[in-house]
């Protein structure tokens, strides 16, 4: 479904990504792991069209989308839930969800999709008239994911979804992600909780200094000595 080929990207004279290649199949959950400043968020933003690569291609269903504007990429079905949630803080819960359904591919079923989000996150329905900035951290993350779902994604790009959440809410969130993926939604997951990422995903890529350092089956990477020491804090 999605293929990144030999991608370079940076900010002005500062290079961040170097010759990065990865792929995600239809209905697959893939994790992207690495230390802070490894380039994970830059890669997601580049796929979503918020940042332009200096070299390489981003292919979606065989089409190079690297030069398309973000709204066109979203309308193809690539939806980013950014780090920090990116909500409209002074809008209500329902207004934020309506914004998620603004892309043409999602407008026709927006009301129905919002109701499905409320069914998945009942607390959002209870607080549908509440301003987003007054929600708890967990509720804001539910809203960010819900807004992404209203956009009718074919692939969901998730950047640090458990950021700032209590452990019990992290487990609830990952239960939701597992269910969404089980229903056929492809997910590219960037997550600080490396253990959860490896347990949830089918395959993983490890970024180191903007390059793909390791890749493969997530269960195999969980047993890789380099991953265990560097990211799981386990010494054999």
pLDDT category of residue 233 using cuts at 50, 70 and 90: low
Residues of the chain above pLDDT 70, percent: 98
Distance CA(14)–CA(185), nearest Å, equals 34
What burial class does residue 151 get, using C-beta atoms within 10 Å of its C-beta: 0-12 exposed, 13-18 middle, 19+ buried? Answer: buried
Residue-range domains of the chain with CATH: 1-77+154-236 (3.40.50.300), 83-149 (no CATH)
Instruction: Say which residue the tokens 């549908």 belong to.
Output: 128
Q: Are strands 211-217 and 78-81 parallel, antiparallel or unpaired?
A: unpaired
Distance CA 3, CA 23 (A): 4
CB 55 within 8 A of CB 8: yes
Give pLDDT, residue 26.
Answer: 95
How far apart CA 146 and CA 177 sit, in angstroms, is 11
Rounded CA Rg of the chain: 17
pLDDT digits 0-9 by tens, 152-161: 999 999 999 8
**Between 13 and 33, whose confidence is greater?**
33
Going by pLDDT thresholds of 50, 70 and 90, the confidence category of residue 235 is: low
Give percent above pLDDT 90 in the chain. 70
Q: What is the C-alpha to C-alpha distance for residues 165 and 79, in angstroms, rounded to an integer? A: 22
Question: Two tokens at 223?
Answer: 């047993």
Cβ 96 vs Cβ 88: under 8 Å: yes
- The mean per-residue pLDDT over the stretch 4-31 comes to 94
Give 84 or 179, the one with higher predicted confidence: 179
The span from the CA of 126 to the CA of 118, in Å, is: 9
Instruction: Please give the biggest Cα pair distance in the chain.
Output: 54
With CA atoms as reference, report the closest residue to 60 among 152, 201, 154, 196: 154
What pLDDT band is residue 108 in, cutting at 50, 70 and 90? confident
The confidence score (pLDDT) of residue 13 equals 84
Range in 37-41, 122-126, 167-171, 172-176 with the lowest mean pLDDT: 167-171
pLDDT on residue 192: 85
Do 192 and 163 contact (CB within 8 A), yes or no? yes
Bridge-based pairing of strands 211-217 and 63-64 is unpaired
């Amino acid at each position: 479904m999605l293929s990144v080929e030999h991608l370079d990207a940076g900010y002005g004279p500062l290079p961040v990504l170097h010759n990065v290649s990865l792929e995600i199949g239809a209905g697959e959950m893939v994790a992207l792991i690495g230390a802070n400043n490894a380039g994970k968020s830059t890669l997601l933003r580049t796929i979503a069209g918020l940042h332009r690569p200096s070299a390489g291609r981003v292919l979606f269903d065989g089409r190079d989308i690297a030069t398309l504007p973000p709204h066109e990429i979203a309308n193809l079905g690539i939806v980013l839930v950014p780090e920090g949630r990116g909500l409209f803080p002074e809008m209500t819960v329902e207004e934020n969800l309506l914004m998620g359904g603004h892309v043409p591919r999602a407008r026709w079923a927006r009301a129905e999709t919002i109701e499905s989000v409320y069914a998945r996150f009942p607390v959002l329905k209870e607080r549908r008239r509440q301003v987003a900035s007054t929600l708890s951290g967990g509720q804001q993350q539910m809203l960010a994911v819900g807004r992404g779902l209203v956009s009718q994604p074919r692939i969901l790009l998730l950047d640090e979804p458990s950021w700032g959440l209590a452990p019990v809410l992290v487990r609830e969130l990952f239960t939701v992600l597992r269910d969404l993926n089980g229903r056929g939604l492809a997910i590219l997951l960037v997550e600080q909780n490396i253990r959860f990422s490896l347990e949830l995903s089918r395959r993983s890529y490890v970024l180191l200094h903007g390059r793909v350092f390791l890749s493969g089956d997530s269960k195999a990477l969980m047993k890789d000595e380099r991953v265990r020491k560097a990211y799981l804090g386990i010494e054999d």
